[in-house]
Amino acid sequence: MTISARVTPKGSMDILSRYEVNQLRDKNNRHLYELFRRCALAVLNCGVLTDDSEELMSSYGSFDVSVIQQPRGIKLDIRNAPESAFVDGEMVQGIKTHLFAVLRDIIYTNSVVAKNNSLDLSRSEHISNFIFHLLRNANLLTTDNSCDIVVCWGGHSISRSEYDFTKEVGYQLGLRALNICTGCGPGAMKGPMKGAAVGHAKQRHQLGRYVGITEPGIIAAESPNPIVNELTILPDIEKRLEAFVRLGHGIIVFPGGVGTAEEILYLLGLLLHPDNINMPFPLVFAGSKQNESYFKMIDDFIGLTLGEKAQSCYQIIIDDPVKVAQTMKKGLEEVRDYRRNHRDAYYFNWLLKVDLEFQVPFEPTHESMSALKLNKDQPIHMLAAALRKTFSGIVAGNVKENGIKRIREKGPFKITGDPDVLMPIEALLNAFIKEGRMKLPGKKYVPSYELHMSTS
């Protein structure tokens, strides 16, 4: 069942210029409208479990949203939206806030790229500056002296016991007045926020932040959970990942699948860069007792592909949420001291070196996936970049609309590399499949990839 309604903004993005409204109405710029429509539908689908963006779009083929310009502001005219976004005919306030965050970010991103002639997104420093402007426009950058944002990564398809563990860790972080940033979806992205909300309430900490960072390619598969109170949509996965490490002060990784592996490899690639070796950035892999073998598997994979230097970048803490929170809080104090001593901002990690290889959008196609350089004849941080792209492509083939379409039309992505790199990848992916970490529970997984060992 669907509902149609007209909604007014609350708190942000209540004013658009006629130029901006016309951008969404311009028939020659249908890409912008379709982008807004798809992201809006994903937000309105909050609370409905699906990780197939193509299925979501086809299920609501008649959904439509348009901007109505008024003398005193704007309204959104919404047609055939998911019923779950409404209570007694009124849109849920949190969903309404997310909806206008989508409008804000898509309009601003398009305006900055279109109007700023000095912006060159082929240059590393310009990309980082662009991300800064996007986060500032979303009001995510605060000028206090705190280093208290803990980024939590992990899978959307996790068991109930794993979810409960992420919630307990979040609770311990909340008791210490630490704020949470995640990919904003369900599972290990929702649990830490829910736990932290209870911890904040218990400590009467009324300014708790639950930041969700997403991007158009993944938002339909991971609709923002209802606890997110600060949502932003970055243009692509690379800018999303950089936003996590620029905004956050430390990262906790919970069990997940290929998307989580992609995030781990991205961060390790940065931490292994020679310019970042002495920069404190607390990284903890955390799980319950039943996850001990999972993190041993991840640790083994990292050791076999990237080596001991990469393994030294993180701690593994099993079945001890209190220790996870204490370790993170101590690490954040070191981050604050480092930022103060090096005169870096507390709210945005300018000093972190991010190579262009980690910033330029990687489009997973059959050609680009087969061209990945998966061997050890390169610096380890560059191998980490290639591994990150490998897992990014598999994520696209699993849940992203364009990736699913490409797999359906041309068959699985063919990934080629040296055996000493591809064999650990194969072992890890097979374990993910066996443990049901590729799709939501109850959904059959058909691999979107084939691995081919090099013979030379």
High-pLDDT (> 70) share of the chain, % = 93
Beta strands in 114-255 (DSSP E): 149-153, 179-182, 210-214, 230-233, 250-253
- At the second CATH level, the architecture of 141-341 is 3-Layer(aba) Sandwich (3.40)
Q: What is the mean pLDDT of residues 309-319?
A: 97
Question: Hey, which CATH number is domain 2-100, 3.30.1850.10, 3.40.50.11540, 3.30.930.10, 1.10.1200.120?
Answer: 3.30.1850.10
Residue 70: other Cβ atoms inside 10 A: 10
Domain boundaries, the chain: 2-100, 141-341, 356-453
- In this prediction, residue 149 has a pLDDT band, given cuts at 50, 70 and 90, of very high
> Residue 323 has what pLDDT?
98
User: Is pLDDT above 70 for 240?
Assistant: yes
> Residue 158 has what pLDDT?
83
Give the model confidence (pLDDT) of 45-76 as tens digits. 876 555 555 666 677 878 988 888 776 678 88
CA 346 to chain centre: 21
Beta strands in 20-147 (DSSP E): 64-70, 73-82, 86-87, 90-91
> Residue 50 has what pLDDT?
54
Q: Are 232 and 135 in contact (CB under 8 A)?
A: yes
CA–CA gap between residue 3 and residue 355 (Å, rounded): 46
Q: What is the mean pLDDT of residues 190-195?
A: 97
The values of phi and psi at residue 137, to 5°, are: -65, -30
For all residues of the chain together, what is the average pLDDT? Answer: 90
The helix-helix angle for 258-271 and 292-305 (nearest 10°) equals 50
Give 29 or 49, the one with higher predicted confidence: 29
CA distances from 90 to 4, 5, 406 (A): 10, 8, 39
Q: Provide the whole-model pTM.
A: 0.91
Q: Are 400 and 53 in contact (CB under 8 A)?
A: yes
High-pLDDT (> 90) share of the chain, % = 61
> Residue 241 has what pLDDT?
96
Give 434 or 157, the one with higher predicted confidence: 434
CA–CA gap between residue 318 and residue 294 (Å, rounded): 11
- Mean pLDDT is lowest, of 210-224, 276-290, 359-373, 420-434, for 210-224
Q: What is the mean pLDDT of residues 123-132?
A: 95
Give 161 or 31, the one with higher predicted confidence: 161
